[in-house]
Amino acid sequence: MSSTLPGVRTPQDAVPPPGPVLLPSHIPLLARALGGYSSSDPYWSRVDTVEAFSPGLYLVVDAQGRIVWLGIAAGGQGVTGRIRTHLAEPWKRAVFHRVWIAPAYDSIPRPVLEAAEGWAADALALRTRMPHRTWPPSTNWLSLVGRP
């Protein structure tokens, strides 16, 4: 039996404040973050119909176009699998509206993805504008994203 009262939100399902409005100038930064591992230009999809099975970076916005999530995806299901995992959480299902996807080549190593995510967070000023979230550091980003 749960001790939680109906209608009371627990911290894990509380909706964090959104970040800045996504601007057209922000979108190319996603591909730039991946450097030589970027496999195509970023594109968007509704979160409920996303079909992006490659690894890469993704940026989720709410219905008002405000950034609510920046993440990376790797593995067999790529961005699609990662978004489906997110949508298991009620607040994300309610808030996630569209996702911008920056696909990467399948050969991208995890440390490169993490550095790219950190660089994108820095380039979008998300560390200061979304202090409730954390991203990996962008240390050695430039040397990591140069395709071998």
Where are the chain's structural domains? 26-131
Find, among 148, 49, 55, 35, the residue nearest to 101 by Cα.
55
Neighbours of 136 (CB within 10 A): 15
Q: What percent of the chain has pLDDT over 90?
A: 82
Distances, alpha carbon 60 to alpha carbons 42, 71, 119, 136, in Å: 12, 9, 17, 18
How high is the pLDDT of residue 82? Answer: 95
How would residue 16 be classed by pLDDT, with cut points 50, 70 and 90?
Answer: confident
More confident residue, 3 or 144: 144
How high is the pLDDT of residue 75? Answer: 78
Mean pLDDT of 32-45: 96
Helices 27-34, 110-123: inter-axial angle, 10-degree rounding? 150
56 within 8 A of 72, measured Cβ to Cβ:
yes
How high is the pLDDT of residue 111? Answer: 95
Mean pLDDT rounded to a whole number for the chain: 90
Residue 10 has pLDDT above 60, yes or no: no
How high is the pLDDT of residue 4? Answer: 39
Distances, alpha carbon 135 to alpha carbons 59, 66, 98, 126, in Å: 13, 18, 20, 9
Mean pLDDT of 74-88: 92
Name the 3-class secondary structure at 57. Answer: strand
Neighbours of 61 (CB within 10 A): 22
Radius of gyration of the chain (CA): 16
How high is the pLDDT of residue 7? Answer: 44
